[in-house]
Amino acid sequence: MARPKIALIGAGQIGGTLAHLAAIKELGDVVLFDIAEGTPQGKALDIAESGPAEGFDATLKGTNDYADIAGADVCIVTAGVPRKPGMSRDDLLGINLKVMKSVGEGIAKHAPNAFVICITNPLDAMVWALREFSGLPHEKVCGMAGVLDSARFRHFLSLEFDVSMRDVTAFVLGGHGDTMVPLARYSTVGGIPLPDLVQMGWTTQEKLDAIIQRTRDGGAEIVGLLKTGSAFYAPATSAIEMAEAYLKDQKRVLPCAAYVDGALGLNGMYVGVPTVIGAGGVERVIDIKMNRDEQAMFDKSVDAVKGLVDACKGIDQSLA
């Protein structure tokens, strides 16, 4: 049976890391696309040359021609611009919206049956716009943010509790911005919810609040350290987890920016929610119940995403 084909649209920091991970994990043959001439070709060749030592079977091709993504099973989109210190993700909206238009058209023409994972920021608005421009089914287009934000939360919790990251679960929902919603009640260590761990004296509410804030600021913390761009190792790993769930029909329960129409009181919008990802794409949005405080935080985040979508419609009349 032929290997799956994975198209990576954008061959920058995340795109290159995605290609490396996809090859090492033998998820399929990789096509790296970028408008920058030489970059995707150079990265594809460099990673291919790591194959003999690593011992993977996958082909890697770099290209500036959308025709080369033809028939891709998965497209992961990182094309666009990252932020620098002092910027918010939302500042990228105008420039990256134009990129989503060309990428959406390219995918629609050459890989209309792909499962599409958008990473480009501001994430929730960009995945909405990419879906609009591509016209693909909603369940086949989603955005990566919740897996990353939850991974950051899990990492910080594992440090606080001095336990393996594998035994920490977390759910971060809402938009991928300052209003994101880390849900303590739905996050656990060894199956014990975080509020119970506070009561058991394993940590204090103050420390937990600080970890939640550090999670919200997780992207900015890395931007502040790197200075020239934003995080790429953990974002790439997170998107690969989603792609693998689709390709292997794993039916993973993962938070992602999905199209929600009916669940969680939402009518037809993209935002971070718990989902099930399998061979059907986003097969299910989990309609979790939130308490009053959680709902208030989620509503605020939903409003922030709606504001960004309205801004997209203001910039590009074809989206209105």
Ligand X SMILES: O=C([O-])CC(=O)C(=O)O
Ligand Y SMILES: NC(=O)C1=CN([C@@H]2O[C@H](COP(=O)(O)OP(=O)(O)OC[C@H]3O[C@@H](n4cnc5c(N)ncnc54)[C@H](O)[C@@H]3O)[C@@H](O)[C@H]2O)C=CC1
Residue 10 in the binding site for ligand Y (CB under 6 A): yes
Residue 219 in the binding site for ligand X (CB under 6 A): yes
User: Cα separations (Å) of 156 from 107, 187, 216?
Assistant: 37, 12, 12
Residue closest to 142 by CA, chosen among 24, 63, 303, 252: 252
Q: How far apart (Å, rounded) are the C-alpha atoms in residues 56 and 104?
A: 31
Residue 199 backbone class (left: φ over 0; alpha: ψ -120 to 50; beta: rest): alpha
Q: Which range binds ligand X by CB under 6 A, 46-54, 178-186, 223-231, 251-259?
A: 223-231
- Do the annotations mark residue 15 as ligand-binding? yes
Residue 99 in the binding site for ligand Y (CB under 6 A): yes
User: Cα–chain-centroid distance for residue 173?
Assistant: 12
- Do the annotations mark residue 71 as ligand-binding? no
Q: Which range binds ligand X by CB under 6 A, 28-36, 127-135, 229-237, 241-249?
A: 229-237
**Binding mask of the shown chain, residues 126 to 145, with x at each position contacting ligand Y by CB under 6 A:** ------------------xx
229 binds, among ligand X, ligand Y, none (CB under 5 to 8 A by kind): ligand Y
Angle, nearest 10°, between helix axes 146-161 and 218-226? 90
Find the binder of ligand Y among 114, 119, 184, 276 (CB under 6 A): 119
Of residues 27-86, those binding ligand Y (CB under 6 A): 34-36, 39, 78-83
CB of 117 to ligand X, least distance (A): 14
Helical segments of 111-267, H only: 123-134, 146-161, 194-199, 205-216, 218-226, 233-247
Contact residues toward ligand X (CB under 6 A) are 82-83, 89, 121, 148, 176, 218-220, 222-223, 230-231, 235
